[in-house]
Structure 1
Amino acid sequence: MKYVMGIDLGTSGVKVILVDENGKVCSEASKPYRLIQEEPGYCEQQPEDWVKQTIAAMKELMEKLPDHSREVEGISFSGQMHGLVLLNESRQVLRPAILWNDTRTTAQCTHITKRLGDRLQKITKNRALEGFTLPKLLWIKEHEPHIDQQIDMFLLPKDYVRFRLTGALHCDYSDAAGTLMFNIGDSEWSEEICQAFDIPRHICPPLVTSEAEVGPLLPQIAREVGIKEGAKVFAGGADNACGAIGAGIVSSDRTLCSIGTSGVILSYEEDHERELQGNLHLFHHAKKDAFYTMGVTLSAGYSLNWIKGLLAPEESFQSLLEGAANITPGAKGLLFTPYLVGERTPHADSSIRGSFIGLDSRHERAHVVRAVLEGITFSLNESIALFRQAGKNINSIVSIGGGARSRTWLQMQADIFQAEVIQLDNEQGPALGAAMLAAVGCGWYPSLDACADLLIHQTAIYEPKQQHANVYADLFPLYQRIYTQTRDIHAGLEPYRSV
């Protein structure tokens, strides 16, 4: 039996899975790493932590299954998007990586928009938002010129880990599309954008497809983790693109809801010409010659983690959600907006913060938890509303991540989205998508579509309960008004957040 390995470099940790030729996930291993938040809005990590923990997870996986170690044929990657890793000429890391959820670059985003105007949207199909890579580069230019002068190349997070495991420097199209420096239509780095901001073209890494073979593991890495030398390594893709593959979103009739630290509504696209609005994004898919549109809630699962830490730090998530299951829709008149670190879709606003609206003395812990779940789902529904306004027919949604592990939350998604919500029988998310890229790269399947047909199966379908859907249809417009009604208040509070 032969095997492939999928490596998903997430925001809070790395996950590694082993998949056999029949599509069975044989085992998995995960390792955490720390987040550095030295100032409000700052989110950084040490790239060396990614490398050490990835190697540790690979080694643990092989130690669990020592008989399989000689049969690992291919390895591929998924990774958190947008993060900025800076290398000098000697390929040493110059500073901690600035992550996707870092919001320090509002001034740089304003500068990009003023400098390029409509050209930015035409070239990149995206607006200038704090999460993207280009604003981070410009922040470095302005605030750390001594670092800027040493930059010889930048990489995205998973690409740095892959470089350390193979010695090869590359970036795939799906991750490049999230930098705000990539020409979506021409599938190449934008000379116009680089010249506009005095960015040397040579610091942009070589581009490859997600299915491209980029080299074997370095012999010393193969020996350390217990994998035979010569195992093929494939480029892989951005976490959302790989998550889409791992959920079978490889054709135009499929939509994905993925709830991790952030939350994503993603829809497959055949081309890059769709007109977008409300801070929806368009990126290259990890599937060759395909694209996807996407809306993002920055604090989805993060909001649930936050409320658990406040109210039930010693309890399991299952215990926390059991109480919410007994609360009727609407949480007894309590609404929550999940803007804990700002928001992206439909409001590109790094200053907005979360709110509880309607608190009274009758509310108990279960009402608060229910309101948080509903608020996260309302925020995701704003992206679905934008897709529908743009002409997308969304009747069926595959749900993965934290939102797919609770029957209460799955039913809530169906009721709020007013669509059937599909739960998969073996939901491994981006790690499975990465493994599927390796499997296709190794020639096990003729295409990702064929691979998805054989590997991905649904286990349950949640249909909207009309009575609940009617309640949420009434509450959703009220939820949407909270942003405009509280925006100025939150802006006024911003100076006090660092006190």
Structure 2
Amino acid sequence: MKYVIGVDLGTSAVKVLLVNQSGHVVQEVSKSYPLIQEKSGYSEQDPNEWFEKTTEALAELVAQFNGHPSDIEGISFSGQMHGLVILDQNNELLRNAILWNDTRTTEQCQQIYDIVAKDKLLSITKNVALEGFTLPKILWVKQYEPDIFQQIHTFMLPKDYLRFRMTGEIHMDYSDAAGTLLLDIAKKEWSKEICEKLDIHPSICPPLVESSDLVGTITREFAEKTGLSEKTKVFAGGADNACGAIGAGILSNGKTLCSIGTSGVVLSYEETNDRDFKGKVHYFNHGKESAYYTMGVTLAAGYSLSWFKDVFASYESFNDFLAGIENVPAGSNGLLFTPYIVGERTPHPDSNIRGSFIGMDAKHTKAHFVRAVIEGITFSLNESIEIFRASGKTIDTIVSIGGGAKNETWLQIQADIFHAKIIKLASEQGPGMGAAMLAAYGCGWFDSLDECAETFLDQVRVYEPISENVTKYKELFKIYQEIYVNTKNMNEQLKGFRA
């Protein structure tokens, strides 16, 4: 039996999966690492932590493996998007990585519009300038850390740095490059026009590859540290959302994904590079060759739920924390929550907005609040689905993965709020499985990713929308949409009081 490894480099932890030729996850190891948040809106990590924890995870996985290391043919990656990693001419780190959920770059987003122009940016990158993207972070370093900016030899994204440390090779795949605001999405090349307008030397942009491309083998040193064979093939991998799409079988027209992790994503497959959503949702290159996807993002999806638990029920297990929500009626007896606790992205690109509970009543219990948080996260994701539908897309079936797919009540809430069938897969690994599939395809086990998905992915249950709940949630969704408009100004005024 042959095997591949999928490495999912997330925001809070790295997870490594050992997958066999039948698509079964035979081993998995996870290692966590901290965030560095020196100020409100700042979010950084030490890339050395990614490498050290991944090395530990792989060493543990190989030590537990019953076969020979040479049976592990390939390894590929899924990684948190947008994070800025910068290296000097000796390929040494210049500073901590600035992550996707860092919101310090509002000023730089405006600079991009002032210099490049919003219409020009949209025509090239298919996306608007948001604080989370990579380009504003580069401009922030240029403005506030000019000595460091002058030393930049190359920039890369988190999983690319991890792969570089394992192989000594520097590349970036199209699906991750699409989230930098420097890629010409249609032409699949770095935009010299944007670089020149913003006085960024194009040479700092790394070579571009497909997600399934072979980019090298692991170094002798890394093989010795982990127990892997030096012959282990290394494939480029992709952005976590692109890999999540692959790992959920979103590989053809009409397929849609809901992924709820720290952030939440609604993603829909696109065959062409010419759809125009006017920047209301993201438009990126897929991990599948010559394919694309549209995507809406809720910045604090699962994070809103874990935040609420940590603050108000840290002593409980997650199962106990969620107990009883199935007995709370749809709408949580008039309690609404907006998951804007770190700002928002879709459809409100606003780093200043913050969350709210609306409609609190003395009769509400903890279960009402927990269900309201879950409903609020799902309402936020539904805003992206409604944008897709308004563009003419039919969305009647959605594959759900991540934390939101682990609880049956939440899956039914998704079916009711999205007014669509929700499919639960046998494996909820999503991005990690997508990374493993890229390695399997790259190793030649299958002729296409679609063929790989037929073998690797199994559907275990379908949740149908309940008509009574659909009607109630449609009414509540209209009220939910008013909360942003009515709290925006208040949150602007409160900004100066935040630590």
SS of the equivalent of 1:28 reads strand
Q: Distance in 2 between matches of 1:260 and 1:427?
A: 11
- Whether 1:355 and 2:344 are equivalent positions in the alignment is no
Letter aligned with residue 114 of structure 1: D
- 1:77-476 equivalent positions in 2, closer than 5 A: 77-117=77-117, 118-277=119-278, 279-476=280-477
Greater Cα shift, 374-383 or 111-120: 111-120
Q: Distance in 2 between matches of 1:318 and 1:155?
A: 38
TM-score normalised to structure 1 length: 0.99
Letter aligned with residue 356 of structure 2: S
Q: Distance in 1 between matches of 2:91 and 2:401?
A: 36
Quote the residue 2:492 is aligned against: 491
Letter aligned with residue 477 of structure 2: F
Structure 2 contact 128–279 (Cα < 8 Å) conserved? no
Structure 1 contact 278–386 (Cα < 8 Å) conserved? no
1:169-196 per-position Cα deviation (integer Å, ceiling 9, x unaligned):
0000000000000001110000000001
RMSD (Å) for aligned C-alpha atoms = 0.8
Quote the residue 1:24 is aligned against: 24
Cα displacement (A) at 1:275: 1.2
Cα displacement (A) at 1:24: 1.3
Q: Distance in 2 between matches of 1:278 and 1:379?
A: 17
Structure 2 contact 267–295 (Cα < 8 Å) conserved? yes
Cα displacement (A) at 1:279: 2.7
SS of the equivalent of 1:34 reads coil
1:132-173 per-position Cα deviation (integer Å, ceiling 9, x unaligned):
000000000111111111111101000000000000000000
Q: Distance in 2 between matches of 1:478 and 1:115?
A: 38
SS of the equivalent of 2:324 reads helix
Q: Distance in 2 between matches of 1:441 and 1:218?
A: 19
1:318-367 per-position Cα deviation (integer Å, ceiling 9, x unaligned):
21112212111111110000001100000010000000001121111111
Cα displacement (A) at 1:278: 6.0
Q: Distance in 1 between matches of 2:68 and 2:325?
A: 43
Structure 2 contact 122–279 (Cα < 8 Å) conserved? no
Structure 2: give runs of 5+ residues left out of the alignment: none
Structure 2 contact 242–287 (Cα < 8 Å) conserved? yes
SS of the equivalent of 1:174 reads helix
Greater Cα shift, 311-320 or 81-90: 311-320
Q: Distance in 2 between matches of 1:198 and 1:404?
A: 44
Q: Distance in 1 between matches of 2:494 and 2:143?
A: 26
Structure 1 contact 278–345 (Cα < 8 Å) conserved? no
Greater Cα shift, 108-117 or 384-393: 108-117
Q: Distance in 1 between matches of 2:68 and 2:54?
A: 18
Structure 1 contact 5–19 (Cα < 8 Å) conserved? yes
Structure 1: give runs of 5+ residues left out of the alignment: none
Structure 2 contact 338–357 (Cα < 8 Å) conserved? yes
1:370-394 per-position Cα deviation (integer Å, ceiling 9, x unaligned):
1000000000000000000011100
1:237-283 per-position Cα deviation (integer Å, ceiling 9, x unaligned):
00000000000000011100000000000000001111114630000
Q: Distance in 2 between matches of 1:333 and 1:181?
A: 44
Greater Cα shift, 157-166 or 360-369: 360-369
Q: Distance in 2 between matches of 1:99 and 1:426?
A: 28
SS of the equivalent of 2:230 reads coil
1:284-306 per-position Cα deviation (integer Å, ceiling 9, x unaligned):
00000000000000000000000
Cα displacement (A) at 1:68: 4.2
Cα displacement (A) at 1:488: 0.1
SS of the equivalent of 1:421 reads strand
Q: Distance in 1 between matches of 2:367 and 2:113?
A: 43
Structure 1 contact 278–347 (Cα < 8 Å) conserved? no
Cα displacement (A) at 1:457: 1.1
Quote the residue 1:37 is aligned against: 37
SS of the equivalent of 1:67 reads coil
Quote the residue 2:9 is aligned against: 9
Q: Distance in 1 between matches of 2:315 and 2:26?
A: 31
Letter aligned with residue 364 of structure 1: T
Greater Cα shift, 65-74 or 90-99: 65-74
Greater Cα shift, 68-77 or 191-200: 68-77
Q: Distance in 2 between matches of 1:422 and 1:96?
A: 39
1:451-472 per-position Cα deviation (integer Å, ceiling 9, x unaligned):
0011111100000011111110
The percentage of aligned residue pairs carrying the same residue is 59
Structure 1 contact 216–232 (Cα < 8 Å) conserved? yes
Cα displacement (A) at 1:7: 0.3
SS of the equivalent of 2:360 reads coil
Q: Distance in 2 between matches of 1:63 and 1:332?
A: 52
Letter aligned with residue 368 of structure 2: H
Q: Distance in 2 between matches of 1:443 and 1:41?
A: 44
Structure 2 contact 175–286 (Cα < 8 Å) conserved? yes
Q: Distance in 2 between matches of 1:66 and 1:314?
A: 38
Structure 2 contact 425–457 (Cα < 8 Å) conserved? yes
Quote the residue 1:67 is aligned against: 67
Q: Distance in 2 between matches of 1:17 and 1:31?
A: 12
Q: Distance in 1 between matches of 2:404 and 2:319?
A: 12
Structure 2 contact 424–460 (Cα < 8 Å) conserved? yes
Structure 2 contact 127–279 (Cα < 8 Å) conserved? no
SS of the equivalent of 1:214 reads strand
TM-score normalised to structure 2 length: 0.99
Q: Distance in 1 between matches of 2:409 and 2:335?
A: 18
Letter aligned with residue 286 of structure 2: H
- Count of residue pairs brought into register by the alignment: 498
Cα displacement (A) at 1:227: 1.1
Structure 1 contact 83–97 (Cα < 8 Å) conserved? yes
Structure 2 contact 336–359 (Cα < 8 Å) conserved? yes
Letter aligned with residue 193 of structure 1: I
SS of the equivalent of 2:337 reads strand
Q: Distance in 1 between matches of 2:67 and 2:188?
A: 42
Q: Which stretches of structure 1, 4 residues or longer, exceed 4 Å deviation after superposition?
A: none
Q: Distance in 2 between matches of 1:436 and 1:83?
A: 24
